[in-house]
Amino acid sequence: MVVDVIKTGSIGARNPLFIVGFPGVGLVGSVATSFFVEKGGFEMVGYISSNEFAPLAAIHNYAPLPPVRIYFSKEKNIVVVLSEIVVPVATSNELAAKILEFAKELKSDRIISLGGISLKEAENSVYLVGSNKKEVDSLTSSRIAKSIKEGATTGVTGTLLAIGSITGYSILAVLGEANPDFVDPKAASNVLRVLSKIISMPINTAELDREARTLSQGAKESAIKSKSITKKSEPPGGMYG
């Protein structure tokens, strides 16, 4: 198994912030990081490959692209790793190690992972899990997000958090409460709003919020039509007579 970081452009970064996003629950990580990159003026500067990745190309604006890409903004001094594929479990540990190695190579001392979670405790909630407890306590005390006392995170993010807690490297996961059954742009918007506060950078999520309202309205209309069809198909006196 081989995981490679391939650079296609210059990364003139000095101690950059690393942000990573993987599909996960509600595809929140991919949606949030993709939106952040698109609206933030980032440039693609590389990609990550592995013989274990699904053999596909993502297509955006008519152009085929590697499914796991690296973006950079010199102005913001931020490197983003965006994945549009679910990473095989067997590859998660090596990919996490490769991302951490890449971050250290650029003298970065912090990685923030964006994703979704389905705790089903409170709608629109955002949770923080981090290798630095003091940082998490400070952020949650300001009530911009909640902490998770017990549970588990899996995949690349889970591995990064475990490595960070052992080595002292700062890894912070920002996880939005999401619906596991469909793409959840509202959860992605919630995650980006919290990220905005954490890194003190404005992020306009109005477009994601509009998309979420459209999806919500569509779901309601589908439910109404479904009930109407069901009632019309029922025999008099109810389903069971």
pLDDT, position 223: 33
pLDDT, position 236: 46
Q: Is 183 helix (H, G, I), strand (E, B) or coil?
A: coil
pLDDT, position 216: 60
Q: Are 127 and 195 in contact (CB under 8 A)?
A: no
**Domain range summary for the chain, segments of one domain joined by +:** 3-204, 208-241
**pTM recorded for the entire structure:** 0.86
Taking 50 as the pLDDT cut, the residues of the chain under it are 218-241
Q: Are 49 and 6 in contact (CB under 8 A)?
A: yes
| CA separation for the pair 50, 188 (Å, rounded) | 27
DSSP state of 108: -
| CA separation for the pair 230, 241 (Å, rounded) | 15
What's the fold here for domain 3-204? Rossmann fold (3.40.50)
pLDDT, position 61: 85
Helix axes 206-233, 185-198, angle to 10 degrees: 160
pLDDT, position 225: 39
Environment class of residue 74 by beta-carbon count within 10 Å: exposed (0-12), middle (13-18) or buried (19+)? middle
**Extended strands (E) in 63-192:** 63-65, 68-73, 78-83, 110-117, 126-130, 146-147, 170-177
DSSP state of 86: P
